[in-house]
Chains A and B, each alone.
Chain A
C-alpha cells in the first residue's frame, strides 16, 4: 500500500478544510446572530414578492395610487395565519407537509397534489425567468445572455451548496429587497397620504378595482410556499419548544413582506400614478418609466429589485418543488445526496430549470399565457392545499396540545375561504378578463 500517497491526500484534505474554514469564519461570525432569529419564515414570505407579485403591485400603484394600501393589513394577517399553521405543524410533528399528506391521506391524493404542484410551479418558474429577462433588458442585456446565465447560476447554487450556505445566500437576498425602499424614497411620495390610505380603507365597487384586490392576494399567497416553509423548519430541526421563535420568524416574515409591498406601491403611486402613466402592465415597464420621473437611481434600483426577486424565487421554486414531490412520493431527495443516489430528485430539479428558462428563450414565447396559467394554477391548487393544512392542523393525534383553538380555527377558516374565493375569482378573471375601466 502506498502510505505516502494516502498521507499526502489526507494532508491535502486537511489543508483545504482549514483554508475553507478561514474563508467562511469571518462571514459566519457576522451572520450567526442574524441566523439565530430569522430563517424559513422570512425567506418564504419574501419569496412571495416574486416577479409576478411585483408586477401586480406595480400595476396597483400605477392604476390606483395609494388607494389600495389598506389591503396590506388584512393580507398580512392572512399570510401570517396560514403560514403560522404550517410552521406549527413543522415544529410539532417534525415532518414536511407532503409527508403528512402522504401519511394521513394516502398515495393517490398525494400524487395528484404533487403532479398539479409540478405544473403550477413550472409555470411559476417560467414567470421568474421572464422576470430575470425583463430586468436585465433594462440594463441592456439580451435575454439570450441573461436567462441562460441565470439558469446555470441557479442550478450550480444547489449542486455546490449546502443547506446552510444556501440559506445564508437567501437571507442576503431578503436584505436586497430594501432596494425598493430606496427606490420609493427617491420617488418623493406623499407619506401622509400613504399612511392615511394604509389605515383607512377606500372601497370602489368597479370590476377593475376588485380584480386588482384579488390579484394582490392571489400573487402574494402562493400554495407552494406552505410546503417550503414547513420543510424549512423541519430541515432546521426546530423543536416544539422553540415554537415561539418559529412563530416570531413567521410574523416578522409576513410583516417584512408587506412592508416591501407597501414601498413598491408607494413608489409607483408617487411617480406613475401622479404623472398619469396608469397603464403599466409589468414591473420592467415601470422601472423604465421611473427613470425620467424619479431619476436614474430610482429606476435602476427598481429594476435591480425585480432581478433579485426573480433570481431568488427561481432558485427556491425548482428546489422546493423537486424536494416536495420526491418526499411525498418516497424518492430520495435533497442536495446532500449524490446524483445517482437521488436521480429523480435531480432530474425534476433540472427539468424545472431547463424547461422554465427554455420557454422564456423561445422567440415567440406565449409568456402572457403562461403567466395566466400560473395564476390560475395557483388559484386551483391553493384551496386544495389550504384545506389539507386545516384538516391536518386540527388532528389531535398529530398535533397534541398544539391543535388549533376554536378562535384560531374561525380566523383560519374565514381566511381560507376568503382566500379561496379571491383566488378563484382571480383565476376566472385571468381567463375571461373584464373590460378595462
Chain B
C-alpha cells in the first residue's frame, strides 16, 4: 500500500504484547547503509526519554498505527546521530534539487512503499511530493480522517520526484560526508542549468555545492553564474581550490571573474595559478573590461594562410582543440599579421589542395584591442558576424570575440 510520511507522523506504536509504546515523531534514513530505507523510528513517550525502533523490529504499518514484533524492552534509547537523515527535520519543508526537472523545489510530503520480509515490514522512500496532494495532506492531517484526505487528493494534480532524482542540499561539509551526499547527479546537468539552480539557493548552500564539484564543472558553472554571486563564492573559497577552478576556466572567463574581485584577492589567486595560465589571464586583465580586449578570448586557432586544407585538417587532428566551440580559424601571413578568417564549414566542402588564402571571408574585419565594446557590437550587428578577430598595434591577432560573448554582454545590460 502507498503510505505517506505525514500520515505516519504521530502514529501510535504498540509492542508484540499489544502495549502502547509511544508515538512516532521522526523517521531516520541511514544513507551509509541503504539510501532509501527508513532505518529507525523515533518514538516519543511524553516525559520519558524517547525510544528508537529499528526497521527489523516493525511488524505492520498502517496510517495511524504501527505494530512492533518485539517487546518494548528490546528498543534502544534515542541518541542523536549526525549520520541519520531525519525525514521531518531534514526533508519536509526543505528545498531539494530535482535533478531531472533541473530546478529547486520544496518538499511537501514523502511517499513511502511497504516491503514485506519475513516477520517484518520495511518502509522504502520512493518519491518526494512537491505538489498539491502533499500540501493538502499536511494541512488536513489530524483534522479530517485519512481516508477523506486520500479521496480528496485523488482529484488533485500530482507532482512528485523519484528519490533517485532528489539531490539534498546540505551546507555543512561534515554533515554532507556523514549523510553520503555527493553531487555526482549535479555534475551531469548542463552548467547553465546548475548555475540557474544555484541562483535560487542561499549563499551557504551555493558554497557547499561549488566546494563539492570537480574543478572543471565548478569552472563552467562559475562562468555561467551572475557575477555578483561568482565574486561572493570565489572570495569564500579556499584560495588553492579557487585557483584550481580558475585554471580550468577559459582565460577570458577567468579574467572577467578576477576583474570583479578586490585587487589583493585576485593577486593572491593569480599567484596560486600555474605560470602560463596566470600569464594569459594577467594579459587579459590589463584590458579595460568595456573594450574589445576585455571581451576577447586568447584561446583561438591560428594557421598560416599558405597552408592547404589537407594540411590544416591533418594538423587539427593532432591538436587537443575544443571542437564544440570551434567555428572559425584565424589566418596569419608570413609576418604574423592578421590575414583573414576561414569558417570551418568552408573547410568541409573545399578540395584537399585548396589553399586557405582562397577561403577567406570577405570583407577583412578586425578590431583593435582598445576599441570600445559598442564598436564591437556594431560590427557584429552590421556584418552578422559569428567571430571577430582582435589585433594589436602591429596588426597581429591576439584574440577572438565570439558571438556568445556579445550576446551575454547585451543581455547583461
Q: A239-B232, A330-B108 are in contact. Are A108 and B139 (CB under 8 A)?
A: yes
Select one of B108, B204, B378, B411 contacting A94, CB under 8 A.
B204
- Asked if B203 contacts A240 (CB within 8 A), the reply is yes
Asked if B380 CB lies within 8 Å of chain A CBs, one says: yes
A184 and B201 CA atoms in complex are apart in Å by 46
The size bracket of the interface on B is: 20 to 34
A11 and B229 CA atoms in complex are apart in Å by 31
Minimum CB distance partner of A344 in chain B: B132
Annotate A306-330 by CB proximity to B: 1 below 8 A, 0 otherwise: 0000000000000000000000011
A107 and B108 CA atoms in complex are apart in Å by 8
- Asked if A17 contacts B384 (CB within 8 A), the reply is no
Asked if A292 CB lies within 8 Å of chain B CBs, one says: no
Asked if A103 CB lies within 8 Å of chain B CBs, one says: yes
Q: A18-B377, A94-B201, A237-B226 are in contact. Are A330 and B130 (CB under 8 A)?
A: yes
Minimum CB distance partner of A19 in chain B: B381
- Asked if A24 contacts B413 (CB within 8 A), the reply is yes
- Asked if B93 contacts A103 (CB within 8 A), the reply is yes
Minimum CB distance partner of A13 in chain B: B407
Select one of A14, A24, A102 contacting B106, CB under 8 A.
A102
- Asked if A107 contacts B410 (CB within 8 A), the reply is no
Asked if B94 CB lies within 8 Å of chain A CBs, one says: yes
Taking A7-B384, A239-B203 as known contacts, 19 extra A-B pairs with beta carbons closer than 8 A to each other, sorted by chain A number, are A10-B384, A17-B407, A17-B410, A18-B378, A18-B381, A21-B410, A93-B202, A94-B201, A94-B205, A95-B202, A107-B135, A108-B139, A237-B199, A237-B228, A237-B229, A240-B203, A241-B232, A330-B107, A330-B130
A361 and B143 CA atoms in complex are apart in Å by 39
In the assembled complex, 8 residue pairs joining A and B whose CB atoms fall closer than 8 Å, in A order, are A7-B384, A28-B413, A94-B201, A102-B93, A102-B106, A107-B138, A111-B138, A330-B105
Measuring CB to CB, which residues of chain B are less than 8 angstroms from any residue of chain A? 92-95, 105-108, 130, 135, 138-139, 199, 201-205, 226, 228-229, 232, 377-378, 380-381, 384, 407, 410-411, 413
The size bracket of the interface on A is: 20 to 34
Asked if A152 CB lies within 8 Å of chain B CBs, one says: no
Q: A103-B93, A108-B138, A240-B203 are in contact. Are A330 and B106 (CB under 8 A)?
A: yes
Asked if A25 CB lies within 8 Å of chain B CBs, one says: yes
Residues of A within 8 A of B381 (CB): 14-15, 18
Residues of B within 8 A of A106 (CB): 92-93, 138
**Interface set, chain A 100-150, CB cutoff 8 A to B:** 102-103, 106-108, 110-111
How many whole Å from A90's CB to the nearest CB in chain B? 10
Which of B130, B203, B232 has the largest number of chain A CB atoms within 10 A? B203
Select one of B199, B202, B380 contacting A14, CB under 8 A.
B380
Annotate A329-340 by CB proximity to B: 1 below 8 A, 0 otherwise: 110000000000
Minimum CB distance partner of B135 in chain A: A329
- Asked if A21 contacts B413 (CB within 8 A), the reply is yes
A93 and B204 CA atoms in complex are apart in Å by 8
A15 and B201 CA atoms in complex are apart in Å by 34
Which of A10, A14, A28, A103 has the largest number of chain B CB atoms within 10 A? A14
How many whole Å from A1's CB to the nearest CB in chain B? 14
Residues of B within 8 A of A10 (CB): 384
A345 and B387 CA atoms in complex are apart in Å by 41
Select one of B139, B203, B229 contacting A107, CB under 8 A.
B139
- Asked if B139 contacts A103 (CB within 8 A), the reply is no
A111 and B378 CA atoms in complex are apart in Å by 52
